[in-house]
Structure 1
């Protein structure tokens, strides 16, 4: 074998590449060298391709040194292969250096360089090379367009450039290139332009499994669960291969729908297709059953999986938190730790939310030890979750300590600390911190932080401040008020004694949200004087709803006015409507 002619070695290496045995290709090349032969331009093209497929930068550099020693550095095919290899190994600087030194360039060379920048999402550089390529009189191919579109991500300008490629591809007549249209379809889904993606999908005469999978994911992102189910049925009728990605999107939609019967049917399909134990799929199934309110089935499926990864454990822990079984979530977390499987950041954040839900400081301290042990202590998201957890546990000092120690504070960190002060009745400190945050012009407040600010105004009775923030939220920051914002304002005005202003405010709220604002209003009324109650109570039928709390409040208000018949009627209506008053509960933690 070692004396076989070079042509035979080339055929062996080429065949090995074709079969996907890239390590064997490198071994064959090594044997070729040991036999006393050296490669030619075809040998180097095949071997460099193997290095690229293995993402072996060290092997690729070694082969390039052989190329230079044997004088093949001017061969355009060898140079292009090396350029493609450096691109696939994410060595952009070496790819660029090689490209600049090439004595002659082909369309493939330009495409490789454009692809290299696109893979690193350096959109401006990829388009700069595209324009330079055209100025050098090279005609772009559909592969050029695919590379350009794949690198369009993140910014509005990148989207606009991607849309220009769509127009350019149409102009050049690439209508039949399915790979290009699939790339453009993926780009539109990535930018959440689902309507544009659907329009493109409908216009496509040819579709592949990738086409259906992409638009399937688009409908899933849109939250159109019924369309996801409809499209899934189309995929099955067309006998398109069902892969894990399709099922993850389908399962996510079932979780949003919350229909247990459909969830059970999906699980049967998964088992039939042999995908039920795929890591991403298994975790999604657990999440689906938890969101459908069947935590028992979620745990049953979890226990059936023999090889549990961190994603599956995290999904089951999150399922218990979602089902308000945070103590069980903590126990499961300890079971996970006992298997010597290290948690990831999402696991830690999920279990911190469990500690926050039950307000257990002792559990919080145990989790804090795990955070330190697994190296998440400096992670900003984890630190923000810690602030939230200590807030719910009533340990304001620890939350302040963590917040003040942060070297960089994003909106989530500021929001958590502002909420912490508001939650613990420190309205003045909460507002002071919000004003301090506004000094950082790089941070734009969102709807969540304004909810915390309005809540702080409410706890502190700052009516004028609350009105000012509510107005600036809309006019200055363009945030549309939600139910939470309206509730804070109604509570603030009512508790401050501005009953008429509160009623006027409720009358201006969108009708679909108005019925949900009577609970804070009625709660505040209980502390008002009798004359005000006497004037307002005749409108009681307007405030009745399916809320048990509203009926109880109305009964209490009627009783305080001596209207015992009305009080009895409100109490009786709870039974007539089949409503049930949830029992209150409290928790006391004992320390030895």
Structure 2
């Protein structure tokens, strides 16, 4: 009779787990313990499965303690369930430790540890375990191959491994299995082989929502707007149930192309399909409306959710930053902090960007005060964002203080501090720091840091050094010069008064007709008001088709400085004809009470 109550408990737990009521199953197990009845080898596999599906690692560990306390840890099914729980809860160390200690390993055990490494995209270890499994005469199953393929990250080496598994799966007659084919498609999408993924897609007689989601996601990744919506239409005609992943791909395409009309249509369909209640999808919708230039629609979506998660808050804050509404972004961040919800790294970096845009030390100090509270004070990415923020707020000393306090500096940290010196005209300090960075052999400079160091030379009149860096970037580091580098060199030469050299440089670079290269030249020309170059300037204005509003204004200003009033007026008239309105100037004053 003493086992009758346990049989009833087990039956109840098993039925709730089979019906996917995982939280209810754990509540029943808790009631079992409170009643004084202990579980057995039939109880724990289902309880552990509930923990795995809910991702409750701490509860799973507690159940593991119960298993050991009751002496059923040697049961192969209990051991396999524990392994599966640790694997699905992303505790790879505990999963591997348990796997190595198992005296008897079933095919499910081997599959579980392979899937655990696959989640971490550690294909090398997955393949090694697979080879060991094969050497012990354990026959691989469909789940084995799916695990191996799903762990391929998209690198060239992983692709070769995945293709080998593809061939092996064909040999084992898995090629017609939809789950295996979906995994293969995902691998090809991650490897940017969209045509291979599409060939596999077209060969399938049966397609599921996952199949369509995978191929649509692949085309969305490549920005193929037409194929995304074409496949989506096909999916609807086939009456295949829509899922959140498909909608996120559609939203991604709308964000990429900035089509507000299409975005509104997708959002309407989203609501009709019942996915508007998911905060993760709402965050994507907010981002979509921001990219389409409708910040008010984004805010309406944000406000329509009562239970907002941190991703949704971060998306809306980031939306205001992208829309140039930094002060509103900071105000929304303050609202977030009043909710008790914990901001994450991305939230903090986004709001620091808003402070940088405002250039306000007052707000910078407020935001920095939150870092201790959220436990992200020592995060390198956030520290790098702080350096950038203090640079834009005009406090080089604060930026250097943070930089000097870093125990480890990556390229982004070095680049931010070099940029700070460049921004404030401290060319010699920037060069010294750049040379210090080069002493660290683990740091390889990129195109961006060379832009910063050449700009630093330009702002400090260090002509020879700037040209040397420009040459070294290409010859010593194999970095191809881009428009930003060319613009910096034009600025470097023009500021120093070497207009002939600057003009010659503009003529020989691949982007010689770009207004981006003429802007620094014209700015320097206006400062010097050199009459000999007026004819060149006017000739440029007539020949160059890529003339920006700013360059028209500069040309008009130069003409006025030279007393050529008719030409100045002509430039203004030309601006109006081309529909180039001059943006109003503005300034900001922080008033503290």
TM-score normalized by structure 2?
A: 0.88
Q: Name stretches of at least 5 consecutive residues in structure 2 with no aligned partner.
A: none
Residues 466 and 489, structure 2, Cα contact 8 Å, conserved in 1: yes
- Whole-Å Cα distance in 2 between the matches of residues 195 and 479 of structure 1? 31
CA distance in 2, matches of 1:423, 1:587: 20
1:63 to 64, 67, 84: 67
Q: Which runs of 5+ in 1 are unaligned?
A: none
**Separation (CA, whole Å) in 1 of partners of 2:209 and 2:537:** 63
Identify the residue that residue 553 of structure 1 maps to in structure 2. Answer: 554
Pairing 1:102-251 to 2, within 5 Å after superposition: 105-153=105-153, 156-251=156-251
2:488 is aligned to: 488
Indicate how the Cα distance of structure 1 residues 467 and 169 shifts in structure 2: closer, same or farther if over 3 A, else same. Answer: farther
Deviation, 1:28, is: 7.2
Q: 8 Å contact 2:52–2:86 — kept in the other structure?
A: yes
User: C-alpha offsets along residues 304-332 of structure 1, whole Å, 9 cap, x if unaligned?
Assistant: 22223322222222222211121222222
**Equivalent residue runs for 1:21-420 within 5 Å:** 21-22=21-22, 27=28, 49=49, 52-53=52-53, 56-63=60-67, 66=70, 68=72, 73=74, 80-90=80-90, 92=92, 95-96=95-96, 99-100=99-100, 105-153=105-153, 156-420=156-420
Deviation at 1:100, TM superposition (A): 4.7
Match in the other structure for 1:580: 581
Q: Distance in 2 between matches of 1:37 and 1:357?
A: 61
Aligned residue number for residue 500 of structure 2: 500
Distance 1:454 1:113, change over 3 A: same
Give, in whole Å, the separation in 2 of the partners of 1:230 and 1:30.
Answer: 52
Please give the alpha-carbon distance, in whole angstroms, between the structure 2 residues aligned to 1:389 and 1:38: 57
1:51–1:57 CA contact under 8 A, matched in 2? no
Contact 2:376 2:382 in 1 (8 A): yes
For residues 534 and 504 of structure 1, what CA distance do their matches in structure 2 show? 15
The answer to whether the Cα contact below 8 Å between 2:114 and 2:126 also exists between their aligned partners in 1 is: yes
CA shift in 2, pair 1:144/1:420, >3 Å: same
Query: Is this contact kept in 1: 2:537–2:555, CA < 8 A?
Result: no
Cα contact 1:551–1:571 (8 A) shared by 2:
yes
In the TM superposition, residue 426 of structure 1 has moved relative to its aligned partner by 0.7
Q: Deviation at 1:183? A: 1.6
- For the pair 1:532 / 2:533, whether they are aligned, the reply is yes
Distance 1:382 1:482, change over 3 A: same
1-structure distance, mates of 2:586, 2:326 = 15
Q: Is the 8 A contact 2:506 2:517 kept in 1?
A: yes
CA distance 1:420–1:110, shift in 2 (3 Å): same
Q: Secondary structure at the match of 1:175?
A: coil
TM-score (norm 1): 0.88
Q: 550-559 or 319-328: which moved more? A: 550-559
- Using the TM superposition, give the Cα deviation of residue 38 of structure 1 relative to its aligned residue in structure 2, in angstroms: 8.9
- Whether the 8 Å CA contact 2:185–2:215 is kept in 1: the answer is yes
In 1, distance between residues paired with 2:91 and 2:320? 44
Give secondary structure in 1 for the equivalent of 2:342: coil
Q: Out of 350-359 and 55-64, give the one that drifted further.
A: 55-64
Q: Distance in 1 between matches of 2:566 and 2:101?
A: 95
CA distance 1:113–1:360, shift in 2 (3 Å): closer
Query: Which residue is equivalent to 2:544?
Result: 543
Secondary structure class of the residue paired with 1:143? helix
> Comparing 376-385 with 544-553, which one deviates more in the overlay?
544-553
Count of aligned pairs: 587
Aligned partners of 1:191, 1:562: CA distance in 2, in Å? 61
